[in-house]
Amino acid sequence: GRAMAVLTSGGDAQGMNAAVRAVTRMGIYVGAKVYLIHEGYQGLVDGGDNIKLANWHSVTNIIQLGGTVIGSARCKAFMTREGRVSAAFNLVKKGITNLCVCGGDGSLTGANIFRNEWKCISETRRRITDTMAKKHYNLNIVGLVGSIDNDFCGTDMTIGADSALHRIMEIIDAIMTTAQSCMQLLLCINCPFILCYNFRYLALVSALASGADWVFIPEAPPQEGWEDNMCSRTSGGSRMNIIIVAEGAIDRNGKPISSNYIKDLVQKRLGYDTRVTVLGHVQRGGIPSAFDRILSSILGVEAVIALMEATPETPACVIGLSANQAVRLPLVECVEMTKLVQTAMNEKRFDEAIKLRGGS
Ligand code: ADP
What separation in angstroms does the CA of 58 have from each of 23, 43, 167?
A: 12, 18, 28
The Å distance, Cα 330 to ligand 1 centre, comes to 18
CA 249 – CA 237 distance, rounded (Å): 27
Query: What are the φ and ψ backbone dihedral angles of 51, each rounded to 5 degrees?
Result: -110, 105
Ligand 1 atom nearest to 78, measured from its CA: 16
User: How many angstroms separate the Cα of 97 from the Cα of each of 120, 289, 305?
Assistant: 16, 32, 14
The reported pLDDT for the residue numbered 184 is: 54
CA of 233 to the centre of ligand 1 (A): 46
Q: How many CB atoms lie within 10 A of CB 326?
A: 18
Give SS3 for 127.
helix
What's the gap in Å between 210 CA and the centre of ligand 1? Answer: 33
Is the distance from CB of 6 to CB of 24 less than 8 angstroms? yes
**Residues with a known catalytic role:** 149
Gap between the Cα atoms of 319 and 330, Å rounded: 9
pLDDT for the residue numbered 237: 52
Q: CB within 6 Å of ligand 1 — which residues?
A: 9-11, 41, 74-75, 78-79, 103-107, 109-110, 113, 147
Residues of the chain with pLDDT under 50: 182, 190-199, 359-360
Q: How far is the C-alpha of 238 from the C-alpha of 235, rounded, in Å?
A: 7
Looking at residue 107, its pLDDT comes to 96
pTM as predicted: 0.89
By C-alpha distance, which of 74, 103, 11, 84 is closest to 44? 84
pLDDT at 122: 58
Give residues with Cβ within 8 angstroms of 69, minimum separation 6.
Answer: 17, 20, 62
CA 34/CA 121 separation, integer angstroms: 24
Alpha-carbon 144 to chain mean position: 9
**Cα–Cα distance between 328 and 325 in angstroms, integer?**
10
Q: Which of 85, 109, 195, 283 to mutate to test the pocket of ligand 1 (most atoms within 8 A of CB)?
A: 109
To test the pocket of ligand 1, the residue of 46, 79, 197 to mutate (highest count of ligand atoms within 8 Å of its CB) is 79
Question: Residue with the nearest Cα to atom 15 of ligand 1?
Answer: 75
pLDDT tens, residue by residue, 267-281: 888 777 777 888 776
Q: CB-side exposure of 22: number of CA atoms within 13 Å?
A: 24
Q: What are the helix (H) ranges across 125-273?
A: 126-134, 161-179, 201-210, 226-235, 259-270
Pairing mode of beta strands 51-53, 33-37: antiparallel
Tell me, in angstroms, the distance from the centre of ligand 1 to residue 136's CA: 27
Reported ipTM: the value is 0.98
- Residue ID of nearest Cα to ligand 1 atom 26: 110
| Gap from CA of 107 to ligand 1 centroid (Å) | 4
Residue whose Cα lies nearest atom 5 of ligand 1: it is 106
Atom 21, ligand 1: which residue's CA is nearest?
A: 110
> Whose Cα sits closest to atom 9 in ligand 1?
106
> What span, in angstroms and rounded, lies between the C-alpha atoms of 30 and 48?
26
Q: What is the pLDDT of residue 179?
A: 60
Q: Which residue type occupies 145? A: V
pLDDT of residue 239: 61
Q: How far apart are CA 3 and CA 98, in angstroms?
A: 6
